[in-house]
Structure 1
Amino acid sequence: MTTKVALVTGASSGIGAATAHRLKALGFTVYAAARRVERMQNLADSGVHVLAMDVTDDASMQAGIARIIARSGRIDVLVNNAGYGSYGAVEDVPLDEARVQFEVNVFGAARLCQLVLPYMRAQRSGTIVNISSMGGKLHTPLGAWYHGTKFALEAISDCLRMEVQPFGIDVVVVEPGGIRTEWADIAADKLREVSGQGAYAGQAKSMAESMGGEAGRKRLSPPTLIADTIARAVKARRPKTRYAVGFGARPLLFLRRWLSDRAFDRLMRLATGVSR
């Protein structure tokens, strides 16, 4: 039986690294991609193939897919995990930074879908897993550009799922809640840098503290929870279209569904401390 092949982006840490390890343990031939290859030595030591890939660089993505096909002859799973959170008030965030956020979180994922789909269609099988966020269905203060990318990824995934279903290809969205990774610290640092002074400084201080607080960090779920969810999805004969997992994901999505916009605004302002 042919060994299935998986590509996981953003694999230098956190969810991506955990997913690469998990799929390797399931028997997949795994290619782990990230800009910082030196941070993936532990993956290489475990038998995962590491790739230098920048999802904002088309040539880099094309070369990565070409290498996988040349070496393994197929691709069965794409996990679009590369991404980051760029926080700051809409008024403060430079549009160049907003564009980079979309390039990484949306256009990089979409381009990799374009590159793997011809091979999946030829096989008449495959699974694309797009790592969104509970933030793809709800909103928080000072997170407009990040949430915008995740809302966009959700919509693209829904349209893509209908387009590729006749070819035997599944599209799955994973919506993590709070996960114990570098993400929160990076987002909080960016928030302080962009909106830590001026009209939104008070909101930025409270929001950054809610992201990086030690008490909140202890409640976060481990990246392995998301890796296990991805493994369950790619093994399923008929996977769910969405998996909401991790700290806060299901209750917050439930509340967003039933609360009015202004009621949910109040809840988020209280939860993040920006109402003070």
Structure 2
Amino acid sequence: MTQTILITGCSSGIGRMTAKFFQEKGWNVVATVRSNPETVEELNALDNVLVTALDVTNEETIKSAVAEAVERFGKIDVLLNNAGYGAYGILEATPEKAIRMQFDVNVIGALLVTKNVLPYMRAAGDGTIITISSMGGKVTFPLGSLYHGSKFAVEGMMEALSYELEAIGIKVKLIEPGMINTNFAETTGSMINFDSELAEYGPFVDKALAAMQTAGSQGSAPILVAEAIWQAATEGTDQMRYVAGPDAEQVIAARKALGDAEYLAMMKGQLGL
């Protein structure tokens, strides 16, 4: 029987590429977007793809999308929690709305979608929950207290969840991409929170932004992430974490090998801070 994957955050980037990747492999794909699914023409044109609305911060839309997926394809074999949000900047300058949105999308949103898919997987006695984390769930970079906080939370909650889900036949997987070449510099710049009145931070912010933009321009191709997701969904092993990208492999290995002071000194040196 053809397998089915439900993916959140398919309007662009990793979500859209993964939807196309799985469709090309012969899977049924439920490609969800926050709003206006009819405008996603590229995915709507594909066979065996259901494009529907799902806002991870609104549980009613989650329930509706999951029910629609099961009605259309009969089951959900794999869930990919991909929808994400990234707020970078100086904490003092960050509005409460941005702080709450960071955790509402990346943490609570992933939990709510997982919660609403689980009854169907539990009834089937099988399934795989895959969540996009980041190398930023293992290491930190400047200006990322909110983003890294959310991704560290994703790592912990999904690892903890694996205990109870293993008991009912469901696997839990985490994907840890490095920098991915999806206009990182431009999108990050639009999310930087900085108040000109906080002049003391100015030189640090300038250096950190320059370093991050340089790193972002050297990111890996998004297909690397889709391939890691495919491996996690299909290989049938107990492996939990899949690192995607040479930069992620190097940085995560360094964090494991070094103590706190050594690692932070190394990163500040590399970033010119």
TM-score, normalised on structure 1? 0.92
Is the 1:14–1:182 contact (alpha carbons within 8 Å) kept by the matching residues of 2? Answer: no
Which residue pairs with 1:169 in the alignment? 170
Mean CA deviation greater in 99-108 or 54-63: 54-63
In the alignment, the residues of structure 1 paired with residue 90 and residue 74 of structure 2 have an alpha-carbon distance, to the nearest angstrom, of 46
In the alignment, the residues of structure 2 paired with residue 34 and residue 204 of structure 1 have an alpha-carbon distance, to the nearest angstrom, of 33
Amino acid at match of 1:55: V
Alignment of 1:150-229 (within 5 A): 150-191=151-192, 193-195=193-195, 198=198, 199-213=200-214, 216-229=215-228
Alignment of 1:1-276 (within 5 A): 2-36=1-35, 37=37, 40-47=40-47, 48-191=49-192, 193-195=193-195, 198=198, 199-213=200-214, 216-273=215-272, 275=273
Amino acid at match of 1:221: S
| 1:213-236 deviation line (CA, Å, top 9, x unaligned) | 4xx445211111100111111111
Change (3 A) 1:223 1:208: same
In the alignment, the residues of structure 1 paired with residue 16 and residue 54 of structure 2 have an alpha-carbon distance, to the nearest angstrom, of 14
Give the Å deviation of 1:241.
Answer: 0.4
Is the 1:11–1:17 contact (alpha carbons within 8 Å) kept by the matching residues of 2? Answer: yes
- 3-state SS of the aligned residue for 1:167? coil
| 1:14-62 deviation line (CA, Å, top 9, x unaligned) | 1111110111112111011112536621111123211122111111111
Is the 1:3–1:29 contact (alpha carbons within 8 Å) kept by the matching residues of 2? Answer: yes
Give the Å deviation of 1:197.
Answer: 5.6
Is the 1:68–1:74 contact (alpha carbons within 8 Å) kept by the matching residues of 2? Answer: yes
Change (3 A) 1:183 1:128: farther
In the alignment, the residues of structure 2 paired with residue 127 and residue 118 of structure 1 have an alpha-carbon distance, to the nearest angstrom, of 13
Mean CA deviation greater in 196-205 or 111-120: 196-205
TM-score, normalised on structure 2? 0.93
In the alignment, the residues of structure 1 paired with residue 185 and residue 60 of structure 2 have an alpha-carbon distance, to the nearest angstrom, of 30
Amino acid at match of 2:20: H
In the alignment, the residues of structure 2 paired with residue 121 and residue 85 of structure 1 have an alpha-carbon distance, to the nearest angstrom, of 32
Give the Å deviation of 1:202.
Answer: 2.0
In the alignment, the residues of structure 1 paired with residue 228 and residue 182 of structure 2 have an alpha-carbon distance, to the nearest angstrom, of 16
- 3-state SS of the aligned residue for 1:11? coil
Is the 2:87–2:147 contact (alpha carbons within 8 Å) kept by the matching residues of 1? Answer: yes
Is the 2:184–2:213 contact (alpha carbons within 8 Å) kept by the matching residues of 1? Answer: no
- 3-state SS of the aligned residue for 2:42? helix
Mean CA deviation greater in 223-232 or 233-242: 233-242
Is the 1:84–1:187 contact (alpha carbons within 8 Å) kept by the matching residues of 2? Answer: no
In the alignment, the residues of structure 2 paired with residue 92 and residue 204 of structure 1 have an alpha-carbon distance, to the nearest angstrom, of 12
Change (3 A) 1:195 1:80: farther
Change (3 A) 1:38 1:202: farther
Amino acid at match of 2:170: I
| 1:79-124 deviation line (CA, Å, top 9, x unaligned) | 0010021001222222331111000001110001100001001111
Give the Å deviation of 1:266.
Answer: 2.0
In the alignment, the residues of structure 2 paired with residue 190 and residue 134 of structure 1 have an alpha-carbon distance, to the nearest angstrom, of 19
Change (3 A) 1:68 1:221: same
In the alignment, the residues of structure 2 paired with residue 80 and residue 135 of structure 1 have an alpha-carbon distance, to the nearest angstrom, of 16
Is the 2:50–2:69 contact (alpha carbons within 8 Å) kept by the matching residues of 1? Answer: no
In the alignment, the residues of structure 1 paired with residue 109 and residue 181 of structure 2 have an alpha-carbon distance, to the nearest angstrom, of 24
Aligned-pair RMSD on alpha carbons?
1.7
Give the Å deviation of 1:189.
Answer: 2.0
Is the 2:102–2:147 contact (alpha carbons within 8 Å) kept by the matching residues of 1? Answer: yes
Question: Matched residue pairs, number?
Answer: 270
